[in-house]
Chains A and B, each alone.
Chain A
Amino acid sequence: MNYLDVRGTRIRFHETGDPAAPAVVLLHGIGRSLEDWWPQHELLGDYRVISLDMPGFGLSQRMPAPTTLPVLAEGVWAALDTLGESRPVHLMGNSLGGAVSMQMLTTAPDRVSTLTLVNSAGFGKEVTVALRMLAVPVLGRQMLRRIDRWTAPRVERTLFADRAMVTRERIEMAIRIARQPDFAPVYLEVARALGGFRGVAAAWRTDLLQRVSAHPRPTMLIWGDCDLILPCAHLAAAQAAFPHARSHMFARTGHMPQIERPEEFAELVRPVLAEVAV
C-alpha cells in the first residue's frame, strides 16, 4: 500500500488505471477506509482511479487541526495536489465521504467535473442510534474503544443487506483501523462536529446544500433501500437539493452499494462520468 506525505501528514492511498485519463476520486465514510471502494478500481479501470484514507481515518494520520468537514475536504484536495492531480476530477463519496465531496465542490468548484453521492450524509437528521450515542460524553469513547472480535462483526452487519458481505477480511480491517491512535479522537471530533444525540445537525447541512446549489454539476444520487445507517428516505431530500440529478435506489442493498452491487454501480455511474468531455 502506498502513502503520501501531505503537509507532514501520512496519507494512505490507492491508485490504478491510466494516469492520463480523467481522475475519479473515491471517498469513504466515517471511521472507514479506502477498502470500501475496492472493486471500483478495476471496474472503472479506464479512468485514473484514486481512493484514499481520509485524514484521521483508515491507516492515514490525522491533520493537526480538529477534524471537521472543511478540514477533511482541504486534506483531500491537498492529497490530490501531492499526487499531481490538478485537473477537474469526478468525485464520488459514500456516507460522510458524500458530505466531504459536497464540501470540496464548494471550496474548489473549478476542480470538480461530476458528483456521485452514495448513501450520503447531509440530507436529513436521522442516523443510526450507534452514531448518535457517540455524542454522549464518556459513552462514545467507551464504544470506540471496544471494537474487537465481538463487536466488529456486529457493526459490519449493520452496513450490508447481505450478511455474506461480512467477511473475515472486513472484520480484521475494521479492528486494525480501530487500533490506530488517531481513530477514536478523530471519529468523535467528526461525530460531534456534525451532530449530536438528537441526530445529524441541521445547520451545517442546510448551509452546505445552499452553497452547493451555486455549482450545478452532472450528479448521480444513489441509495440502498436497506440502509440502517442513513435511511433511504433521505434520497428525497437529496433529489430536492439536486433537482437536475439522476438517481437510483438499489433494492436489498445496505449502506455501501459501491461494494454490495459493484457491477451495477459502475454501469450506473459511467454515463455520468462520460457526460463531461475531457
Chain B
Amino acid sequence: MRLPEYRFAGRTAVLTGAASGIGEQLAYGLAFRGSDLVLIDVDGDRLEAVAGRIRTAHPALPVRTIVADLADRSAVEGLADRILAEHPAIGLLINNAGVALGGRFDQVSIEQFETVMNVNFRAPMLMTHMLIPALTASPGSHLVNVSSLFGLIAPPGQSAYSASKFALRGLSESLRSELLDNGVGVTTVHPGGIRTRIAESALVGSRVPEEEIEPNRQLFAALLSYPPDKAAEQILRAVAKRKARLLIAASAKAPDLLARLMPVGHARIVRALTVARGAGTAVVRQ
C-alpha cells in the first residue's frame, strides 16, 4: 500500500522542540507550506520569538504555542489532552525535541539517565499514543520521529542518548507498519552533526570531571556543522514523499553504511575515533 503525497496546506502540524535548531527551521518550513501550527518547547521566550517571526511573515496562519517540559510525564499528558481538545484532527506530528547527556555510564546519575529517556523516548511515545485518534481522524496523516545518528551506532560516552534514540527508532519502525493500516505514514529521521543548540543545552554527567566539560562541549559543537534549515527542508521533503527513513548529512550516512557492512566490527572503528578525540568521554550529539 502506498500513501499519496503528504499535503501540508490547511492541516495542523504539531511540533515539539520548536524554539531552536532543526525544530525552529521545521516551524518556518511548515508555516511556509501553509500548515496550521502547534509549537511546543520548554523555552518559552525563544518559542514566542519563533512564533512572532512566523506571524509576521504569514499573517493569516494560525500559530499556537505551548510551553511544556517533556521530561515531566503529567506535563506531556496534559499537553496531549489540550491538543486533542483544540485539534480533534491533526495532519502531522513531529517528535523533534531531544536532550543530550555527556559522560560515561558510570559518570551519569540514574536521574540524568532517566531524564534523557523521558524527553527523548517516553515523551514521543506518549504523544504518539495519545494523539493517534487525532492522527487517524482524517486520512493521510503523518508521523515523524527524530532519532539520531546515535540511533544507528552507539559510541562510548553516549549510553543514555543512544539508548533513548535506539528505543525511539524501534518504536518508530514498528509503528511504520502498524499505522500504514490506518493510512498514516511514518518517517524516522537520523540527523548527523547538525548545527543546533543541543551542545549548549546538553546535560553533563554529574560525575564528569570539571576540566573535561568545556573542551568536550567545544569539541561537540565543532562537530555540528550541517545547517539546520537544510536539515529541516530534507525532513519536510521526506514527509511529502512518505519516506520511511531519512539520514541527514554525511556524518550520518557514513556511519550507517559502516554499521551495516560491519554490524559488530564497526564499534572498534567508532571507539578508535571517539577515544582519540574525546578521551572516551562526554561527547554528546544530536
Query: Which residues of A pack against B, CB within 8 Å?
Result: 225, 232, 235-236, 239, 246-253, 264, 267-268, 271
CB distance from A266 to the nearest CB of B (A): 11
CB distance from B101 to the nearest CB of A (A): 37
Q: A267 vs B59: C-alpha distance in the bound complex, in angstroms? A: 10
Q: Is the Cβ of B11 less than 8 Å from the Cβ of A247? A: no
Asked whether A264 lies within 8 Å of B32 as measured between CB atoms, the reply is no
Please tell me if the beta carbons of A246 and B58 are within 8 angstroms of each other in the complex.
Answer: yes
CA of A16 to CA of B204, assembled, Å:
67
Interface-centre pick from B7, B11, B59, B61 (highest chain A CB count, 10 A): B59
Looking at the complex, which one of A250, A264, A267, A268 makes contact with B9 (CB distance below 8 Å)?
A250
B279 at the interface (CB under 8 A from A): no
Partner of B60, one of A225, A239, A264: A264
CB pair A246 B9 closer than 8 Å: no
B34: chain A residues at CB < 8 Å are 225, 248-251
Residues of B near A246 (CB, < 8 A) are 56-59
Q: How far is the CA of A267 from the CA of B61 in the complex (A)?
A: 12
In the complex, what residues of A have CB within 8 A of residue B8's CB?
A: 225, 249
B73 within 8 A of partner (CB):
no
A253 CB contacts on chain B under 8 angstroms: 9
Contact sample, A vs B, 22 pairs, CB 8 Å cutoff: A225-B7, A225-B8, A225-B10, A225-B33, A235-B32, A236-B32, A239-B32, A246-B59, A247-B57, A247-B58, A248-B34, A248-B59, A248-B60, A249-B8, A249-B9, A249-B32, A249-B33, A250-B10, A250-B34, A251-B7, A253-B9, A267-B60
Residue of A nearest to B36 (CB): A251
**What's the tally of chain B residues with a CB closer than 8 Å to chain A?**
14
> Hey, which chain B residues are within 8 Å of A250, CB to CB?
9-10, 34
* Assembled-state Cα–Cα distance A236/B33 (Å): 9
**Which of B10, B32, B59, B61 contacts A252, CB < 8 Å?**
B10
- Give per-residue flags for B34-62: 1 if the beta carbon is below 8 A from chain A beta carbons, else 0: 10000000000000000000001111110
Q: Chain B 1-35, CB within 8 Å of chain A: the 1/0 string?
A: 00000011111000000000000000000001110
Q: Which residue of B lies closest to A244 (CB)?
A: B57
**CA A39 to CA B33, docked complex, whole Å:** 26
Task: Tally the A-B contacts, defined by beta carbons under 8 Å.
Answer: 43
Additional A-B contact list (12), CB under 8 Å, known A225-B10, A246-B57: A225-B7, A232-B9, A236-B32, A239-B32, A246-B58, A249-B33, A251-B11, A251-B34, A252-B9, A253-B9, A268-B59, A268-B60
**Cβ–Cβ < 8 Å partners of B56 in chain A:** 246
Residues in A neighbouring B11, C-beta threshold 8 A = 251
Evaluate contact between B32 and A251: CB separation under 8 angstroms: no
| B residues apposed to A, CB below 8 Å | 7-11, 32-34, 56-61
Q: Given A225-B34, A235-B32, A239-B32, decide whether A251 and B57 contact each other with a Cβ distance below 8 A.
A: no
A235→B57 CA distance, assembly (Å): 13
Q: How far is the CA of A259 from the CA of B16 in the complex (A)?
A: 36
- Report chain B residues within 8 Å CB of A251: 7, 9-11, 34
Q: Contacts of A232 on B, CB cut-off 8 Å?
A: 9
**Chain A residues near B32 (CB-CB < 8 A):** 235-236, 239, 247, 249
- A264–B59 CA distance with the chains assembled, in angstroms: 12
Q: Please give me the residue from chain B that is nearest to A249 by CB atom.
A: B34
- A239 to chain B: closest residue by CB: B32
Most buried by B among A235, A247, A252, A253: A247
Closest to A271 in B: B59
Residues of A within 8 A of B7 (CB): 225, 251
Distance between A191 CB and nearest chain B CB, rounded to angstroms = 28
**Interchain nearest-CB distance for A28 vs B (Å):** 23
Closest to B57 in A: A246
Measured CB to CB, the closest approach of chain A to B148, in angstroms, equals: 27
Could you tell me the distance in whole angstroms from the C-beta of A271 to the nearest C-beta in chain B? 6
The 9 nearest A-B residue pairs measured at CB: A251-B10, A249-B34, A225-B9, A251-B9, A249-B9, A248-B60, A268-B60, A246-B57, A249-B33
